[in-house]
Structures are given as structure tokens and as C-alpha cells.
Homo-oligomer: A and B are copies of this chain.
Amino acid sequence: MKNISGSASCETCSNQSNNIFRHLTRDELEKISLEKNCEPYKKGSVIYHEGYRITGCYCVNDGIIKIYKTGIDGKEQIINFAKKCDIIGFRSVLSGEVACTTAKVIEDSHLCYIPGETLIQLVKQNGEFSMDLMQLACKELGEANAYITDIAQKTVRERLAEVILLLKNNFQLDNEQFLQITLTREELANIVGTATESVIRLLSEFKSDKLIELHGRRIKIIDVKGLKKAGNIF
């Protein structure tokens, strides 16, 4: 069953301008195209686990993965999501530490595995690629710092509104204004850093306030400006 999508070569994939591999030479692309290993992952499967050493990183072909840390009493704190074109696990590969997060599939995915040594070699030999990856890390660092500030200073209500808008920016809306990602109430709570019940109550509030509509797990965005106001975003 391996290499199901193996035929989709990195040469094609890297044409996407937002891809991290855009500055690789033809030779380098061929190399990782040969070495990589594209496999399907079912919803619920764990790609790598916090506290364990990982030997390589993964490039997301399609699907959605949640990246989370396990905190007090096993409560998960969602740090990030990865989708098409994103690369995950490189942090631990490069820092040489064990994984500090767990990556779990929430929508069926195809991931290309890239061995750690390959990645490190590319960093060392290709200055442009190195810069790109560095920029990626720095961007994530900036986002993390921003989120620390939010979570430390904003109310749960404000954070929930903000998270909904963040999800909108990350995953877009379909043509009916529905968020293109569906999460359980508990997962929403684990992003915002609150209790499931609070998320439920606040979502109802947003619904009463005509900011969103709820259809099961699907969230329809009605009033972006109102959400920004509720989220204290300028």
C-alpha cells in the first residue's frame, strides 16, 4: 500500500508558490522525491507522539492534522493545524529534541515522509531553503507569541471569537459561508483553552447575537465585523 500517491512527484508539488521547497534545485527535488514516502492516514491516527523521538518530518498533501500538547490531567491544548502544503515535525528534527507535541489526523490525509537527515542536509547545503525554513519557524514563533498575549489577556468569549476568525482565515469558507473545517466542541475548547461547556454557551450567545449560525458541527459565519468586535480585534 505504500507510495500510493508516490507518483505525485515533488517536482509538481513544489510549483505551488507557498510550498517550503520552492528554492530547491532540480537535483535536490529529485532526491527528496525519491526518498520520500507518501502514505494515506485515516482520521484519528497519530502521526507522531509527544515525548517520542521522530526520525523525519512530513509534508501534508491533503487532509487536516491537529497539533497539540498534553497538559494537566491529560487535557489537550491545540497549538496549530496543518493542511495541504504545510510541513510538520521539522521543529523536533532540527532541534534534535523529542517531539514536544502530538500530531493527530482529524480529516483523512496523505502525508509525505521526509527523512530527518535529508532535511538537515538540505538546510546545510542550500542557503535559500535554509532561509525559507527559518522564516517559517520565525513566523510560527511570532504567531505563538501573539497567542500567548491573547490567551493571557483576553476573556474566553473574546478568544473564541478570535479563534473562529482564525479558522476562517486558515481554512476559508465554502460558498455557503460555512467554515471548511469541522471541530467538536471539545476541540474548540482545547484551542481556546477553556471548558467544553463554556464553548457551547458562548457559541449559543454568538448565534443569538446573529454573528454565526450553527448546523451541527458546522459553523456558518454571518457577521465578520461583529465577530471582530466580540474578539476585540483591530
7 contacts between A and B (CB under 8 A): A72-B232, A77-B149, A97-B139, A141-B141, A144-B144, A148-B151, A152-B192
Query: Count of chain A residues with Cβ under 8 Å from any Cβ of B?
Result: 45
A 133-160 to B, binary, CB cutoff 8 A, 1 in contact else 0? 1110111111011111111111000000
* A183 close to B (CB within 8 Å): no
Partner of A100, one of B123, B142, B193: B142
**Chain B residues with CB below 8 A from A134, complex form:** 94-95, 123, 130, 133-134, 137
* A127 close to B (CB within 8 Å): yes
B133 touching A123, Cβ below 8 Å: no
Give the complex CA separation of A94 and B133 in angstroms. 10
B149 touching A69, Cβ below 8 Å: yes
Q: Tell me the chain A residues, 58-72 only, with Cβ under 8 Å from chain B.
A: 69, 71-72
A 144-181 to B, binary, CB cutoff 8 A, 1 in contact else 0? 11111111111000000000000000000000000000
Q: With A131-B124, A134-B123, A137-B141 as given contacts, are A149 and B91 in contact (CB-CB < 8 Å)?
A: no
